[in-house]
Structure 1
Amino acid sequence: LGHCFPVYIKFRGGKGLATTFGVYAALAFKPALLSLVIFLIVIAISRYVSLGSLFAALSYPLFIYLFKEEGGILYLSLALFHLIMFMHRSNIKRLIKGTERKLGEKAR
């Protein structure tokens, strides 16, 4: 939460994905690694970093469930998935509208 809503810069921070990935890797490395692979594949195919972020955030709880990791990790990963979705809400709107910038595309 401190990365997304830092007190020192008026609660305006990042989207939390990199910090969340660090937490994921510390809790369950194999599912985190697979989520990173999903992230890279989605970006390679679509060139949308935000779409890769959303797919990676969704895939981690699924991999936790499939690998039958401790239940508490599943609940935490679901909560963090919802936080990442919330932080990416403007990106989701732009993806739906078709106005989201692709990787390597210049600003308009």
Structure 2
Amino acid sequence: MPRYSIFILAYCLGAIPFAYLAGQLKGIDVRRHGSGNIGTTNAFRLLGVKLGILVLLGDFLKGALAALLGLWAYGPWGGIIGGFLVMAAHSWNPLFKFRPSGKGVAAGFGIITVLMPKVMFLAIALFIVVVVLTRYVSMGSVVGALTVAITVFVFSEPFAYRVFGLVAASAVIYLHRSNIQRVLNGTEHRFGDK
């Protein structure tokens, strides 16, 4: 099997809709309820903590595995290409006609855990602080993404990882633009709200 086939695998991993599959166990189509996203936050909101944790782990692990395979096969650039592919397939899922379907945060944390663990610890810490203080998961995600974009330079990460940090953070913030608007309008859901 040629090494470049791992990038096909990375894309296929990204397309696994863990929240959608978990929803099917409870007879809930997560695309039609809550935010309509097939991501972790919507899974927690609609499916409860146990299934939400499983979705989180699934999305995290597919990002980590894609980055690890790319890193193993081609070094830092391979790691970020695998990461980009898994995030793209998750966020614009080919199984759902490439419509915006997830925001790539859990998968993104899996990627940076493999490629940039120091960056990940700081991003996770600030994510948790923001969510605890505001109960806005979306704002925690935005702050986490901004943290990645900044700390890839603070920690002198390789150029490939700096590219990933800037591009992936920009994508996460772009995908959260409606959440940001709802926060400004005071209509964004808070974590724990029904």
Q: How far apart are residue 89 of structure 1 and its match?
A: 1.4
Q: Which runs of 5+ in 2 are unaligned?
A: 1-87
Aligned position for 1:87? 175
- In structure 1, what is the Cα distance between the partners aligned to 2:193 and 2:95? 32
Q: Is 1:39–2:39 an aligned residue pair?
A: no
AA partner of residue 2 (structure 1): A
Question: Residue in 1 aligned with 2:91?
Answer: 4
Counterpart in 1 of 2:146? 58
Distance apart, 1:24 and its partner CA: 1.0
What amino acid is aligned across from residue 22 of structure 1 in structure 2?
Answer: G
What RMSD over aligned residues (CA atoms) do the two structures have, in Å?
A: 1.0
TM-superposed CA distance for 1:86, in Å, is 1.4
The equivalent of 1:20 in structure 2 is: 108
**TM-score normalised by L of structure 2:** 0.53
Structure 1 position 64, deviation (Å)? 1.4
Query: Identity of aligned pairs, percent?
Result: 35
Larger mean Cα displacement after TM superposition, 80-89 or 48-57: 80-89
Q: Give per-residue Cα distances to partners, 1:10-33, cap 9 Å, x unaligned.
A: 223211101111111111101111
1: distance between equivalents of 2:181 and 2:161? 29
Q: Which amino acid aligns with 1:74?
A: R
The aligned residue for residue 73 of structure 2 is: none
Which structure has more relative contact order (CA 8 Å, sep 6+)? It is 1
Structure 1: gaps spanning 5 or more residues: none
Q: Give me the whole-angstrom Cα distance separating, in 2, the residues matched to 1:95 and 1:75.
A: 29
The amino acid that maps onto 1:32 is: M
- Aligned residues between the structures: 106
